Each structure stands twice: as structure tokens, then as C-alpha cells.
């Protein structure tokens, strides 16, 4: 089947504008023959350390989810993507919805562990990340879920296709610039190749949508402004990790398009630790301190965060 992974340049927090941009690219992907269309993580808002993204989260049946349903019905396609939603319990979650060709929702996955400053925006979920269809099982993995052994273990040998997306941001060129430039080059390569490296651990093709373009926001706990960009890299890869299509960040908005065959191949054994691949020193440090800072911000917003599926003991060991 022909699948498309969108790449979007989002306007932070501008839901109406972002929905229009996603709709335009999804329509173009359908015109190119795609019967499965994947929108990025946070497709309706983009992602940054901005409280207004949390405060403006829509209901689960709000305009972002309605767009997925409308696109699916319009094109007779499967359409999925993730957006911040405020559930009936008052908590905000990063929820991926998949709509079928009749416009009905087929399933939902909540990203399990917020990444870095994302902890200020939403709480993690605990579902298995698998959506059962009549003729196949679809797995979902969002951004750094592609980086963790736990994701591979819950999907390996159980899914025929993996859908996902990311809002992966860059490392700024702070002093010493030569060192941070090297770290950023590795960060970019890690982001662009994450889906292809993940596929063999699951044994199924992966369709990964992405954000491109610049962003800026307050940096957690420091009186400075983060200025950077999304790493981009909308990609489609086969079950063995072979890259079938890639739209780089420099190519801007658009989509990657390829034909894939849903399948379940023997999966590569996952490593014994918490992570499938190294994060880099800056990312590891930010993961730790921004998690604590972000969760405190979330609580101060008047919501007591439920228990997260991650373990401080496990993270410390790895």
C-alpha cells in the first residue's frame, strides 16, 4: 500500500493555521495516491516550552481530531496523528488518533513518557500502543518512544505496521561552539535515523511524520531564550530498517511517499537497558532536570500529575 508521512512547519500554538497546513499537505499526499497518511506529533500546535500549549489543549473530539476524521472520510484513507488533548479527568495527554476510511476513530495511543520540557505540557499514558484493525495490528511510537527498549518490547512481533511522528528539536550553538556544533550534528543524525533504527527491533515497517522550521521559547530554569529548529526528517522505512523515502528538514513542508507491505518479521533482540540508542550528553542532562522542572510546572498549573510509567530507579541505572 502507498503511505505518506507529512512534514509540517508549524506556527506555535496557532491551531487554526496548523490544521490548514496539515490539511493542505494531506490532500496533496492523497492526490499522489497515499491510502495511509500520517501527520506529525503535536500536529495542531507544534511543541515548545510554552504553557499556552497546555492551557489551549482541545477536547479529545475537538477540531484536531475532527480534521483526522474529515481527511479520512474525504479520501477514503487511514489518517493518524497526535495532538494535545484535555481528557475528562482534567489531565492533558499527547494522544495519537487513527481514523479509518469511513471517518470513524479506530484507536488511540497516549505517549508514555513526556520528553524533557514536554513534562510541563502533559502527563504520560500506559496503553500498549497497539490498534487492532480487521486485517492487521498497527503500532504507534511517538518521538522518543522510538528510542526506548520498552516500546520495542511491547510492539515486537505483535504489529504489522508502525505509525508515528516527532517534534524533535535541535541543540543550540552555545559556547563552546565547536563542541555544541558536533553534538547538534549527532543529534540531527539520531533524529533523522530514529525510525529506521527502530524498525528492526519491531520487525515491521515504520511511517514517521515530522516537524521542520524554527522555534523559540523560554529555556527551563534559565533566564535565556531557546532558539533552534525542528530536526525534521519525515521518513518511511521497511521492516529491516531500509530507508524507502525521506524528506529532509531543508526541503521544508511536504511529505515522504513510498509503498510498503505490512508484515511481521523476526525482530532484533532489544538491548537490556532502558534506551535503544545513546541520547548524547546534553540530551541526557536535559532529560533529567527538565523532567523534574516540567512536572513541577504542571502541578503548579493546578493539576496533580498521576503516576508516570517510567521509573526513576530504572533511569538512574541506565
Domain boundaries, the chain: 2-317
Query: What's the CA gap between 121 and 93, in Å, rounded?
Result: 8
- pLDDT > 90? residue 310: no
Taking only the tens place, the pLDDT of each residue in 126-165 is: 999 999 999 999 999 999 999 999 999 999 999 999 999 9
* pTM: predicted TM-score of the whole model, two decimal places: 0.94
DSSP state of 230: B
Confidence of residue 316 (pLDDT cuts 50, 70, 90): very low
The DSSP line for 252-314 is: -SEEEEEE-----PPPPPPPSSSBSS---HHHHHHHHHHHHHHHHHHHHTT--PPPPSS-HHH
Taking only the tens place, the pLDDT of each residue in 192-251 is: 999 999 999 999 999 999 999 999 999 998 899 999 999 999 999 999 999 999 999 999
Query: What's the CA gap between 93 and 185, in Å, rounded?
Result: 31
pLDDT of res. 241: 97
pLDDT of res. 311: 41
What count of residues does the chain have?
318
Q: Say yes or no: domain 2-317 is CATH 3.60.110.10.
A: yes
Q: How far apart are the first and last CA of the chain?
A: 39
pLDDT of res. 303: 67
Amino acid at each position: 500500500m502507498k503511505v505518506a508521512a507529512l512534514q509540517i512547519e508549524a506556527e506555535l500554538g496557532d491551531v487554526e493555521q496548523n490544521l490548514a497546513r496539515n490539511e493542505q499537505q494531506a490532500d496533496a499526499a492523497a492526490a499522489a495516491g497515499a491510502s495511509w497518511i500520517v501527520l506529525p506529533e503535536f500536529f495542531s500546535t507544534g511543541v515548545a516550552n510554552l504553557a499556552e500549549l497546555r492551557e489551549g489543549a482541545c477536547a479529545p473530539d475537538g477540531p484536531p481530531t475532527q480534521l483526522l476524521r474529515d481527511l479520512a472520510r474525504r479520501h477514503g484513507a487511514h489518517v493518524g496523528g497526535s495532538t494535545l488533548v484535555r481528557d475528562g479527568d482534567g489531565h492533558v495527554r499527547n494522544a495519537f488518533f487513527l481514523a479509518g476510511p469511513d471517518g470513524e476513530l479506530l484507536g488511540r495511543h497516549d505517549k508514555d513518557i513526556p520528553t524533557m520540557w514536554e513534562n510541563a505540557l502533559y502527563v504520560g499514558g500506559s496503553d500498549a500502543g497497539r490498534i487492532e484493525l480487521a486485517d492487521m495490528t498497527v503500532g504507534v511510537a511517538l518521538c522518543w518512544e522510538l528510542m526506548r527498549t520498552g516500546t520495542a518490547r511491547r510492539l515486537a512481533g505483535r504489529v504489522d505496521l508502525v505509525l508515528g511522528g516527532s517534534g524533535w528539536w535541535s541543540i543550540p550553538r552555545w559556547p563552546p561552539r565547536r563542541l555544541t556544533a558536533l553534538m547538534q550534528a549527532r543529534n540531527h543524525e539520531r533524529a533523522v535515523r530514529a525510525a529506521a533504527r527502530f524498525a528492526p527491533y519491531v520487525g515491521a515497517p515504520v511511517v514517521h511524520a515530522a516537524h521542520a522550521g524554527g522555534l523559540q521559547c523560554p529555556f527551563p530554569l534559565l533566564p535565556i531564550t531557546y532558539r533552534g529548529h525542528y530536526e525534521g526528517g519525515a521518513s518511511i522505512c521497511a521492516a529491516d530498517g531500509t530507508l524507502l523515502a525521506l524528506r529532509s528538514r531543508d526541503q521544508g513542508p511536504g511529505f515522504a511517499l513510498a509503498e510498503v507491505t505490512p508484515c511481521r518479521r523476526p525482530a532484533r533482540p532489544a538491548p537490556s537497558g532502558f534506551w535503544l540508542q545513546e541520547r548524547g550528553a546534553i540530551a541526557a542532562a536535559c532529560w533529567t532536570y527538565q523532567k523534574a522542572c516540567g512536572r513541577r510546572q504542571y502541578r503548579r498549573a493546578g493539576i496533580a500529575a498521576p503516576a508516570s510509567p517510567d521509573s526513576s530507579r530504572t533511569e538512574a541505572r541506565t
